[in-house]
């Protein structure tokens, strides 16, 4: 892939750094989700309903355990809960949701390093609304 | 619940089929700058008979996964215009938050019809722009674009060379993105289908740059509301896992295809999908829910 000759070199550098970070983030996230999925097949949780029952109940909008979805963030720090492989998958999904936010934060840091004040401000605005959405999303 | 749904919603069918369809959704999404929800939601609700709230949850995962998967490649290969993406993202995300607040005050059915109309118009508008891909004179862009450093170039594999481009109508693009964000916040749908036409027609970005930049943006917008859906329990591991993994694979394939495909084909494919989404939204507006 030829490197665009019309782009300033600092922008090219920025793109490579962000691109690599994104790639590793995706791989890490995929590994967590995949291991949880794999474990759920070879070592399904003993308590709660089976996957078949779970899926069968999905029309009415009812969630039958073991869905693996915590009701509070604090529950992610309960290590014993990870015996349920669906909880591992849930962790991977949270990681996935955080990826774009990490992406914006990385972009902010890099604009800071490049001393591009205008874009630091712009990126900060985006990060602010993202964090607001995460924190107060329930109220919406 | 029909017999068909009973059979197909057993793990041995459900997970593999959902995975394969997610690969397709990820591929299409990465090529066109969309999130894949337009494939995932009908699949879950019509094919599998899953409740709409879980379908929407899975769709949000699909959008973020497409965005993250595609962004990694497009940014590294210098196709995404990060400055345009971040600048426009201000408009979209504030629009989306505002839209989400206003949901209870607005008649969503009318909005679906309006949305369908806008998509239809965008589709025809993009067809008219076919000639743009063949003429490669960049021009200088509007003064604001120059001041903000938005003009750039990208390597086009299908042409075998680097293509310089300039950005126009920055203010108009910004306003359109507020609108796109508002609609997506109000209706709870992805906004890629509005972002790409706005960048393509109003701001005159090459279609590949529009698609890659849209891919960068849609994940950010989706992440803002994903937290809510997750805490509500709408994102279920049994559904979201095959979707996420399938979309990761699909978006990787999609990025490879997009970079070597001729721009004209991408544009036409996008318009076809746009019309398809427009019909889907129109039906919703007329009361035919895909429950």
Q: What are the pLDDT digits (tens) for B84-141?
A: 999 999 999 888 888 877 877 888 788 888 888 988 998 998 888 766 555 555 677 7
pLDDT of A133: 78
Please tell me which of the candidates B69, B97, B222 has its beta carbon nearest to residue A129. B97
pLDDT of A1: 41
- Of B240 and B3, the one with more pLDDT: B240
pLDDT < 50 regions, chain A: 1-2, 139-140
Measure the CA–CA gap between B219 and B184, rounded to whole angstroms.
13
Say what the ipTM of the complex is. 0.86
**What sections of B129-156 are H helices per DSSP?**
143-147
User: pLDDT for A74-88, tens place per residue?
Assistant: 677 777 777 788 888
Give bridge partners of residue B163 from the DSSP assignment. B154
Residue A111: closest CA among B230, B149, B259: B149
CA distances from B61 to A33, A89, A106 (A): 12, 13, 21
User: Is the CB of B160 inside 8 Å of chain A's CB atoms?
Assistant: no
User: What percent of chain B is modeled with pLDDT above 70?
Assistant: 96
In the numeric block, which tokens belong to residue B202? 């109003």
User: Is the CB of A101 inside 8 Å of chain B's CB atoms?
Assistant: yes
Q: How far is B188 from chain A (nearest CA, A)?
A: 12
In the numeric block, which tokens belong to residue B84? 């345009």
- Of B247 and B75, the one with more pLDDT: B247
pLDDT of A27: 95
Q: Supply the pTM of this predicted model.
A: 0.88
Average pLDDT over residues B13-24: 93
Interchain CB distance below 8 Å, A71 and B233: yes
Q: In this model, does residue B273 exceed pLDDT 50? A: yes
Q: In this model, does residue B244 exceed pLDDT 70? A: yes
Q: In this model, does residue B291 exceed pLDDT 50? A: no
Measure the CA–CA gap between B255 and B29, rounded to whole angstroms.
9
Interchain CB distance below 8 Å, B224 and A22: no
Q: How far is A122 from chain B (nearest CA, A)?
A: 6
- B176 pLDDT band, cuts 50/70/90, is very high
B161-165 and B152-156 strand pairing: antiparallel
């Amino acid at each position: 892939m030829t490197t665009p000759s019309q782009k300033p070199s600092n922008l090219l550098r920025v793109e490579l750094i962000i691109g690599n970070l994104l790639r590793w983030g995706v791989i890490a996230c995929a590994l967590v989700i995949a291991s949880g999925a794999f474990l759920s097949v070879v070592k399904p949780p003993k308590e709660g309903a089976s996957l078949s029952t779970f899926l069968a109940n999905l029309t009415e909008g009812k969630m039958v355990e073991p869905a693996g979805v915590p009701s509070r963030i604090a529950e992610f720090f309960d290590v014993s809960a990870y015996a349920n492989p669906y909880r591992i998958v849930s962790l991977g999904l949270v990681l996935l949701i955080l990826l774009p936010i990490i992406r914006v934060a990385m972009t902010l840091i890099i604009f800071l390093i490049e001393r591009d004040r205008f874009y630091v401000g712009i990126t900060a605005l985006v990060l602010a609304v993202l964090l607001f959405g995460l924190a107060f999303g329930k109220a919406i | 619940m029909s017999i068909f749904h009973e059979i197909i919603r057993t793990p041995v069918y459900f997970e593999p089929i959902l995975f394969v369809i997610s690969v397709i959704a990820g591929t299409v999404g990465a090529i066109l700058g969309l999130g894949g929800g337009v494939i995932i939601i009908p699949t879950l609700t019509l094919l599998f008979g899953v409740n709409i709230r879980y379908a929407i949850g899975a769709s949000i995962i699909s959008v973020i996964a497409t965005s993250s998967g595609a962004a990694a490649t497009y940014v590294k290969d210098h196709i995404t215009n990060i400055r345009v993406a971040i600048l426009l993202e201000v408009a979209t995300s504030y629009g989306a938050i505002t839209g989400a607040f206003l949901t209870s005050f607005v008649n969503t059915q009318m909005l679906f019809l309006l949305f369908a109309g806008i998509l239809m118009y965008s589709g025809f508008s993009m067809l008219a722009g076919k000639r743009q891909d063949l003429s490669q004179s960049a021009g200088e862009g509007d003064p604001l674009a120059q001041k903000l450093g938005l003009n750039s170039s990208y390597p086009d594999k299908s042409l075998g060379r680097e293509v310089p481009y300039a950005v126009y109508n920055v203010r108009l693009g910004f306003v359109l993105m507020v609108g796109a964000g508002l609609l997506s916040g109000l209706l709870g749908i992805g906004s890629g289908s509005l972002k790409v036409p706005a960048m393509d027609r109003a701001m005159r970005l090459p279609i590949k740059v529009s698609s890659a930049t849209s891919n960068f943006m849609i994940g950010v917008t989706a992440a803002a509301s994903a937290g809510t859906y997750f805490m509500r329990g709408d994102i279920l591991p049994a559904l979201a896992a095959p979707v996420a993994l399938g979309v990761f694979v699909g978006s990787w394939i999609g990025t490879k295809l997009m970079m070597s495909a001729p721009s004209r084909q991408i544009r036409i494919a996008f318009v076809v999908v746009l019309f398809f989404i427009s019909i889907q939204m129109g039906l919703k507006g007329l009361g035919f829910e895909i429950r």
